[in-house]
Amino acid sequence: MDYTKLGNSDLQVSRICLGCMGFGNATTGQHSWTVDESATRDIIKHALQAGINFFDTAIAYQNGTSE
């Protein structure tokens, strides 16, 4: 995995970012196609094993259930 500094900080982040908008409770928020916590855990575990440490998440994703 390639890493780069985040902005002007000394924080090293992977060049690949995992978008997390598809994670969360499908019964809340604006998307019915999100994956549940169990599937999310599997995806994040795989990403971490691949060296990804940069995750895009926001309180707005599925009314906060993505986080």
Hey, which residues are catalytic here? Answer: 61
Question: Please, which residues bridge with residue 5 across strands?
Answer: 12
Q: Residues 43, 35: contact at Cβ < 8 Å? A: yes
- Please name the residue that has the structure tokens 């309180």: 59
